[in-house]
């Protein structure tokens, strides 16, 4: 017998989407509020030695508060995407309500304090946990509960980036793997209703402000191959670095509380010397269309953000890698474009294009979700990119390179680590 749409489930999907959109949108709005306070604290700390010591101790206290959240619910550590995947595949089990509360508090403090962590992974886990809690309230069976978790998790993407198409692609590539047409309607309804709430609360302005429409002439396409190779090697470095950092932290003979505080101490020292390192790296994405930096400075930013990301993310505190890896990808493209410009191979206007292309390819080759990466960049720029094929070329080259070196998708690797640690 042919399965028909249940309008009761459709209504539940919409309700869950509305709630997920509200909670994640508020989470997104509060992060810059906290970071504004931290920015003022950095200015205070840079005045003299005594102020610097006070600033460091303030950071240590924030780290202590985050450690309480992590100790209460260890499954809030990291981005949260592997945890959602593990839950959907019956490989991990944890309290959705506990995760929801502690992820919001811990994530807000960790990301808002300016550590090199992104909001998108936590937004996915917050959305997914909320979806599970509400599915339990509506007393849905296990199969439909998972459908609601997928939809509400993907809603975290659309609320974090104002990117509904990317959220649908993310659900298809990362969470669903395979599903029925009916279930896809439920999931899409959750995402759409979440998008409506996000638009009402935050607006529809693109995350990345691009001044002009971007279009790359075919005479420059030969340079896309080398950009893809460069991005591919960066993806390998990124994934290997994350896995090495996880192993290093695990072998440290100290408590999880101390591990949670370490990133706050180290980051506070770096921020006193260079406040430009504050946050996930979102401020680096649009450099190529404004007052750009020297090539040596771009290299410095790339390696500093990688180092601070590894120190923070691998410690087990809540925070994602989406935005940091996108920022690092943009720095690679910026660096590559600047070199080509120095040799008079491209114009100055092409540098921002290479930056956007590298960002999409960096995501595709690290996460192994090329469709999500492509749609994400287009939606984040407000559709200012007038080409698809160059994105596909760079992403494909980077993707093939990482596959050739047997570099596993990062979220699958992180899930394997969690399952081993759990057992």
Q: Where are the domains of the chain?
A: 7-202, 218-422
pLDDT at residue number 187: 92
pLDDT at residue number 20: 96
pLDDT at residue number 247: 95
d(CA 311, CA 333): 24
pTM greater than the 0.85 cutoff: yes
| Maximum Cα interatomic distance, the chain, rounded to a whole number of Å | 75
Residue 161: pLDDT above 90? no
Tokens in use for 137? 């309230």
d(CA 29, CA 47): 29
Q: How confident is the model at residue 1 (pLDDT cuts 50, 70, 90)?
A: very low
For 197-203, which contacts have Cβ atoms below 8 Å and span 24 or more sequence positions? 197/17, 197/18, 197/21, 197/22, 197/25, 197/159, 198/21, 198/24, 198/25, 198/158, 198/159, 198/162, 199/162, 201/21, 201/22, 201/25, 201/26, 201/29, 202/25, 202/28, 202/29, 202/159, 202/162, 203/162
Q: Which comes out higher in pLDDT, residue 382 or 39?
A: 39
Instruction: Count the alpha carbons within 13 Å of 141 in the hemisphere toward its beta carbon.
Output: 1
Cα 194 to chain centroid distance, Å, stands at: 18
- pLDDT tens sequence across 355-399: 999 999 999 999 988 888 888 888 888 776 767 889 999 999 999
Same fold, 7-202 and 218-422: yes
pLDDT at residue number 403: 93
Cβ pair 302, 328 in contact under 8 A: yes
Cβ pair 298, 90 in contact under 8 A: no
State the residue for tokens 């599970």: 132
pLDDT at residue number 178: 64
d(CA 241, CA 247): 10
Q: How confident is the model at residue 177 (pLDDT cuts 50, 70, 90)?
A: low
Q: Which comes out higher in pLDDT, residue 280 or 181?
A: 280
- pLDDT tens sequence across 219-257: 889 999 999 999 999 999 999 999 999 999 999 999 999
- pLDDT tens sequence across 280-339: 998 898 888 877 899 999 999 999 999 999 999 999 999 999 899 999 999 999 999 999
Tokens in use for 297? 């400075």
**Structural domain 7-202, CATH architecture:** Orthogonal Bundle (1.10)
- The answer as to CATH 1.10.3080.10 being correct for domain 218-422 is yes
């Amino acid at each position: 017998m042919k399965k028909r749409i249940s309008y009761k489930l459709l209504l539940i999907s919409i309700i869950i989407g509305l709630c997920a959109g509200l909670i994640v949108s508020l989470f997104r709005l509060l992060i810059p509020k906290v970071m504004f306070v931290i920015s003022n604290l950095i200015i205070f700390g840079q005045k003299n030695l005594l102020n610097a010591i006070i600033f460091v101790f303030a950071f240590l206290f924030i780290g202590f508060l985050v450690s309480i959240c992590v100790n209460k619910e260890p499954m809030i550590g990291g981005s949260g995407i592997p945890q959602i995947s593990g839950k959907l595949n019956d490989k991990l089990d944890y309290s959705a309500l506990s995760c929801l509360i502690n992820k919001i508090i811990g994530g807000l403090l960790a990301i808002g304090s300016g550590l090199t962590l992104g909001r998108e992974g936590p937004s996915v886990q917050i959305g997914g946990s909320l979806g599970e809690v509400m599915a339990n309230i509506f007393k849905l069976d296990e199969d439909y509960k998972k459908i609601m978790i997928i939809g509400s998790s993907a809603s975290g993407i659309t609320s974090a980036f104002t990117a509904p198409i990317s959220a649908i692609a993310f659900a298809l590539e990362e969470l669903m793997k395979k599903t029925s047409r009916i279930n896809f309607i439920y999931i899409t309804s959750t995402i759409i209703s979440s998008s409506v709430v996000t638009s009402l609360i935050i607006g529809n302005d693109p995350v990345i402000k691009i001044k002009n429409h971007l279009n790359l002439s075919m005479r420059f396409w030969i340079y896309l191959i080398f950009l893809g190779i460069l991005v591919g090697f960066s993806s390998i470095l990124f994934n290997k670095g994350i896995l090495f950092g996880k192993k290093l932290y695990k072998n440290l003979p100290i408590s999880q509380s101390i591990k949670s505080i370490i990133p706050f101490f180290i980051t506070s020292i770096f921020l006193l010397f260079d406040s430009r390192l504050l946050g996930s790296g979102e401020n680096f994405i649009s450099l190529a269309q404004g007052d750009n930096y020297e090539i040596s400075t771009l290299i410095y930013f790339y390696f500093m953000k990688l180092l601070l990301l590894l120190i923070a993310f691998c410690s087990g505190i809540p925070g994602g890698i989406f935005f940091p890896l996108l920022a690092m990808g943009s720095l690679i493209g910026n660096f590559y474009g600047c070199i080509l410009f120095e040799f008079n191979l491209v114009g100055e206007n092409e540098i921002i294009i290479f930056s956007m292309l590298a960002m999409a390819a960096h995501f595709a080759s690290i996460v192994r979700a090329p469709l999500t990466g492509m749609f994400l960049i287009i939606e984040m720029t407000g559709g200012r990119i007038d080409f698809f094929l160059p994105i596909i070329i760079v992403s494909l080259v980077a993707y093939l390179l990482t596959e050739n070196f047997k570099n596993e998708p990062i979220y699958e690797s992180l899930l394997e680590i969690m399952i081993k640690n759990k057992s």
